[in-house]
Amino acid sequence: MPTHILIEPGKVTLAQLRRIAKQPVTVSLAENCKAKIAASVQTVRSLIDQGRVIYGINTGFGLLAKTVIPDDELEHLQRSIVLSHAAGVGAFMKESTVRLMMILKINSLARGYSGIRLEVIEVLMQLVNAGVYPCVPQKGSVGASGDLAPLAHMSTVLLGEGEAMYQGKLISGREGLQCAGLSPITLGPKEGLALLNGTQASTAFALEGLFATEELFAAAVVSGSLCVEAALGSRRPFDPLIHEVRGHKTQIDVAAVYRRLLAHSEIEISHKNCEAVQDPYSLRCQPQVMGACLTQIRNAAEVLATEANAVSDNPLVFAKENDIMSGGNFHGEPIAMAADNLALAIAEIGALSERRMALLIDSHMSKLPPFLVEKGGLNSGFMIAQVTSAALASENKSLAHPASVDSLPTSANQEDHVSMATFAARRLSEMAENTAGVLAIELLAACQGLDFRAPLKSSPLLESAKALVRSVVPFYDQDRYFSPDIQKSQALIQSGAFNSLVGSKLLPSFTK
């Protein structure tokens, strides 16, 4: 049975959002939000009856905002905006992304500042609960005036238009409604605009990027610790005194995790009196680099947790003040910058991992067999796996270029500065896939290196991590078809198999 989540509007947690992103759920609304939803609808109706001209309710949109729409055309206006704005292109979003986007929209609308009826919000909830997900093209939003095209595609299904996915099959929007026991709805004043205007597509992409980055981070700390052991690295760089005098909390937190992972190791004891003075930076500076990455992750998590609970459509209905105000909460700049910072973290996690793996295959540096294989020359071992790592890490350097610094005016220059938040967030998936590949190769190399240190054992925690890897990929005794090994290692990372080893307090969405 799917997990059930009770939505308390404005109070959805990152841990809940992680569950929504990872698996189907059912949702319901807390009862205490319904009076506020009704009050906002009544305010819209009251101000229309008073003859007020209000943007998006009885006017055109964008540059056409000065065009007043007669009362008898208001329903047609809201239907038209949904259909005309459903102009996205490209492959469809994953069902998990659409589910997250829909629940984010439900959460925002249910706060009672959008002038949309409870019945419309309930249709969105019933679609989620039935597992009917609108087909939403990935491309077509610039992240300002809201994610108009993606949210319009989401909303077409409510009207019996567009397409949907249900139990793995592509069906029409009308059939999707039928699968959920629903019929097409008619939108009232403001409702089409409330559905379309908002940052929920960008935020859904960014949250998925955040959760992937957390999994990469956890795997990288474990893999980096394994490399310290395989390369007979020093423990001194992880000493708390070093990190306390610099003062960065994230660096201090990460160093503590490395110490815990590396504690009680036979390998450490075996080289306590070695002559090595300083390890290469990829080993020695892990707390500093990973601490900086953790700063980006935590900052982005704070921004995205706020945005996930935000009211980001326009105009906004303030029932208590009996007023409707037009503003710019739809602008996705906070999401774009958060996503750009996550991109930096993803790229650097991969860059550091690639350097550690390159160190292990270099016998002059690691004192391990060349390319981590016996009978080198006859066997090439990890030679080309490192080339793959380098290719993936380098690709991420280009993808990490900030999207938020770009802007192209839209809507005949009415919308003259845009955030590009949707692309900023969407590209995180590709970057995370690349870094997962880099880490997968490093994990295999580190475990191979540890096997060459036998019969000495690493710490209990790192031995458990190695056992996880060895449960799916055996020791590389001679050249074999390499790609399946990488895929299995990468699947472990992306399943979150190493999350528990770093603890529940280090990363934001791991905390209950």
Catalytic annotation present for 476: no
What pLDDT sits at residue 278? 85
What is the C-alpha separation between 69 and 78, in angstroms, rounded? 11
What pLDDT sits at residue 211? 98
Q: Does 206 score more than 90 pLDDT?
A: yes
What pLDDT sits at residue 272? 76
Catalytic hit among 55, 113, 166, 476 = 55
- DSSP characters over 404-467: TT----BTTTTB-----HHHHHHHHHHHHHHHHHHHHHHHHHHHHHHHHTTTS---HHHHHHHH
Q: Does 266 score more than 70 pLDDT?
A: yes
Tens of pLDDT along 109-129?
999 999 999 999 999 999 999
Beta carbons within 10 angstroms of residue 211's beta carbon: 24
What pLDDT sits at residue 370? 96
pTM: 0.96
What pLDDT sits at residue 1? 84
Token pair in block for residue 465: 């991590």
Residues 454-473 have a mean pLDDT of 97
Token pair in block for residue 330: 């739809």
What is the C-alpha separation between 56 and 40, in angstroms, rounded? 15
What is the C-alpha separation between 18 and 408, in angstroms, rounded? 32
| Confidence class for position 276, pLDDT limits 50, 70, 90 | low
What residues contact 459, with CB distance under 8 A and at least 6 apart?
A: 229, 261, 262, 263, 264, 265, 268
The 3-state DSSP class for residue 68 equals: strand
What pLDDT sits at residue 69? 87
Tens of pLDDT along 35-46?
999 999 999 999
Beta carbons within 10 angstroms of residue 209's beta carbon: 27
Task: Report helix angle 14-22 to 200-230, nearest 10.
Answer: 90
Tens of pLDDT along 350-389?
999 999 999 999 999 999 999 999 999 999 999 999 999 9
What pLDDT sits at residue 187? 96
Q: Does 402 score more than 70 pLDDT?
A: yes
DSSP letter assigned to residue 91: E
Q: Does 396 score more than 80 pLDDT?
A: yes
| Confidence class for position 275, pLDDT limits 50, 70, 90 | low
